[in-house]
Amino acid sequence: MTRRARLIANPSARTLPSRDRLAVAPAWLKLHGWQVDSFVSRDPADATRLAQEAANDGFDVVIAAGGDGMINHVINGIAGSSTALAVIPSGTANVWIREIGAPSHPGDVAAMIEHGRRVRIDLGVAGDRYFLLMASFGVDSIVASEIDHYALAKARFGRGAYVARGLREVLHYRGVAATFTANGQTWEMPLFLALLGNTRSYGGLLSISHRASAIDGMLDLVVYRSGGISRFAVDLARTAVRRHTGWGGARYERVREVTVETTPSVPVQADGEVIGQTPMRFSVVCRCLDVIVPAGALPPSLAPALEDEPVF
């Protein structure tokens, strides 16, 4: 049977290749016997619809040309199907591509689709929305909700826009009261930032959920306590060297589901997209998405979790 792929491009992606450069991927696949159609999404909902239609029609692969937010919209269309995800990175941080060590040139991505490895992985769920990388709430989700109002800065400065706005927010953010229920226990703490990682990298800069595996049926919950700029500076330094949990640092839990309430309510972001507010329930769905990754050894985020790996 003829293999089929659908390319869905986000026209507003910050580093989207030119039309001619992007067309290299469909052209390469067609030369190797694939049937390929291509679409430019009108908006996020359109990307999800196009991906879901491809899954319903039995396409082998959907290729998302965009950033991590675009990938999120696509996976919400193909999760639970046999249609696999491939990516031509064109966004601000491109965290997923960094996680799996995938190529960026459209022609190399096409070759990876043909010769790479297909892996079925878990997805997180925040409320009623799937996420591939992570979900979080606290100081970073506030920044994410605000940066959406500064589209020009995001388009011009990319990740720098988040960093600059984030530093400003950190100096003024005092945290919220939060209640977590997971693993048969409930605890309260003053919250600065909480993250649920399905994979390990945060923004392509830090490994906050540094033990996470997208094939272990768990999410890695990391909670930073609020305590002013001095505490944040210490937590940031410890995170940079992966010594941020335990011994007075962040709380680290591996969970199948967790319910969170905060006072006041705060935004929740998933894969860089603001999707709602607390209170919210988070969970994991095991092995519900096929992804195409380079052939060879699996990256750490897609390898089995090491139960005896120390948490410092």
pLDDT tens-digit readout, 184-198: 999 999 999 999 999
pLDDT tens-digit readout, 124-155: 999 999 999 999 999 888 888 876 544 444 45
Q: Does residue 82 have a pLDDT over 60?
A: yes
User: What average pLDDT does the segment 200-220 reach?
Assistant: 92
Residue with tokens 């249609």: 83
The answer to whether domain 4-115 has CATH 3.40.50.10330 is: yes
The reported pLDDT for the residue numbered 193 is 93
Name the segment(s) of the chain with CATH classification 3.40.50.10330. Answer: 4-115
Phi and psi of 274, rounded to 5°? -70, 125
The reported pLDDT for the residue numbered 26 is 98
Confidence (pTM):
0.90
Reduced to 3 states (helix: H, G, I; strand: E, B; else coil), residue 81 is: coil
User: What average pLDDT does the segment 199-204 reach?
Assistant: 90
CA of 7: how far to CAs of 52, 84, 194, in Å? 13, 12, 34
Rounded to an integer, what is the distance from CA 170 to the centroid of its chain? 22
The reported pLDDT for the residue numbered 308 is 41
The reported pLDDT for the residue numbered 75 is 98
Contact call for residues 240 and 206 (beta carbons, < 8 A): yes
The reported pLDDT for the residue numbered 1 is 81
Element (H, E) at 183: none
User: What average pLDDT does the segment 74-90 reach?
Assistant: 97
User: What average pLDDT does the segment 283-297 reach?
Assistant: 96
Name the segment(s) of the chain with CATH classification 2.60.200.40. Answer: 130-285
Peptide bond into 106 cis (omega under 30): no
Instruction: State the chain's mean pLDDT as an integer.
Output: 89
pLDDT tens-digit readout, 157-180: 455 555 555 556 666 677 899 999
pLDDT-derived band at 83, boundaries 50, 70, 90: very high
User: What average pLDDT does the segment 28-35 reach?
Assistant: 98
Helices (H), the chain: 19-22, 24-31, 44-56, 68-78, 95-100, 106-115, 139-147, 151-157, 159-172, 228-240
The reported pLDDT for the residue numbered 164 is 55
DSSP 218-254: -EEEEEEEP-HHHHHHHHHHHHHTT--BSTTSBEEEE
CA of 125: how far to CAs of 80, 196, 285, in Å? 13, 10, 7
- Give the whole-angstrom CA distance, residue 54 versus residue 48: 10
Q: Which CATH architecture has domain 130-285?
A: Sandwich (2.60)
- Give the whole-angstrom CA distance, residue 6 versus residue 54: 7
Element (H, E) at 180: strand 176-182
The reported pLDDT for the residue numbered 74 is 98
Contact call for residues 192 and 227 (beta carbons, < 8 A): yes
Residue with tokens 């410092």: 312
Q: What percent of the chain has pLDDT over 70?
A: 88
User: What average pLDDT does the segment 301-305 reach?
Assistant: 83
User: What average pLDDT does the segment 264-291 reach?
Assistant: 96
